[in-house]
Amino acid sequence: MRSLLSGRRRPSRRRLLRVAVPAPLVTLTKTLPKTGNGRVWLHVLRSLEGRVALEVVESRPLSSSGGADVWLTDGHWGALNVGEPVVAAVHEVGWTTRELRRFLQPGFAGQVAAGTGAGVLAAARVLAPSQSSRSQVLDAFAVDAERVHMVPYGVDASLFRPGLAGGRARVDAVSLSASAPYVLFVGSLHPRKNLAALRQAMAALARRGFGHVLALVAADALDRDDRIDLRRMGEAELPGAPGRIVSIPSGEDTELAALMAGADAVCLPSFSEGFGLPVLEAMACGTPMVVSDRGALPELVGGGGLVVPPTAKAVEEALAGILSDAALAGRLGAAARRRAEGFTWERTADGWLHALERAAGEAHDGLS
């Protein structure tokens, strides 16, 4: 078997489960590796190699040349018209909730909802990364609870780790405030991420005498027609606090890890998250978190941060507590690192493999 991601041939002495993967998923790991979806597929496929016989299928209509036992796909992309059982990974179906639906453009929401519904209903097994997203799937679709597996995503704790240098220097290079401490936001400039509340909180902290800069590592909201306006508003000067916000282009993971490790706090006050991969990465860096009490964020953070309502005032007070109390920040950072160490990509691959084996086994039993 030729490795999909490294090009090396991996030996196998036993019959491996034959797993077919649509080619666009592998392409995603190469063209969009910095997106959350790209990162997940990159790490999980890499972890599955050698444990299953992966076959990338490029033909249309889809057909596995090796006679696959089971297919693995992104459930948001719709149903696969194949004869073998399908395991579909679904990040979330938050658009079924009123709070998130108000931030989504109707055309996009309708398209994703239709594709996800078809993908979930046609799948033998469904993978969800959190209890929150699993509950959304069960509430939205008429599927048996046994078919929906909760398998958290992972983090490379050797790459994202405490004590990394370079974050402060990176912020200083684009900041008007030399050697200023900073609070970090990592995510898209989508209204659902609630950057507006964080901006208000940081402006209020500046008025209270805190000298922290707000550093953004922010991607455009590609599903929004107003993405240019959203970037302009997100990167605008904080009201009454000029020179207190900087935008840093997304770089290599080593640069992101250094930014996370060097921050006094990382904040993501989202209205909804199916998981929160940047939060887990920041936790692995031993950085205290401030997150909202929505979606999967509370179950992910645990005791590694402060969980508050997604309001500017609540975010302000939580950040003030961390930024003014070194002992509290230290306790939260240490707890965050300990918790993050339990989330590995190998465990994610274990959970996905279990679902693949169950789907394949049930199909085989049904034919025998």
Encode pLDDT of 63-122 as tens digits: 777 789 999 999 999 999 899 999 999 998 877 777 776 777 777 777 888 899 999 999
Instruction: Locate 365 and state its tokens.
Output: 């039993």
Q: Is the pLDDT of residue 352 over 70?
A: yes
pLDDT digits (tens, 9 = 90+) for 128-169: 999 999 999 999 998 999 999 999 999 999 999 999 999 999
By the 10 Å C-beta count (0-12 exposed, 13-18 middle, 19+ buried), 89 is classed as buried
Strand partners, 18: 53
pLDDT digits (tens, 9 = 90+) for 277-322: 999 999 999 999 999 999 999 999 999 999 999 999 999 999 999 9
Q: Is the CATH number of domain 18-154+344-361 3.40.50.720?
A: no
Cβ atoms within 10 A of the Cβ of 23, count? Answer: 14
Q: Is the CATH number of domain 167-340 3.90.1150.10?
A: no
Q: Please state the domain extents for the chain.
A: 18-154+344-361, 167-340
Q: What is the pLDDT of residue 7?
A: 47
Which residues, 6 or more positions from 121, have their beta carbon under 8 angstroms from its beta carbon? 79, 141, 142, 143
Q: Span 210-239, mean pLDDT?
A: 93
125-128: strand order across its sheet: 53-57, 18-22, 70-74, 86-89, 125-128, 148-150
One fold for both 18-154+344-361 and 167-340?
yes
Q: What is the pLDDT of residue 368?
A: 46
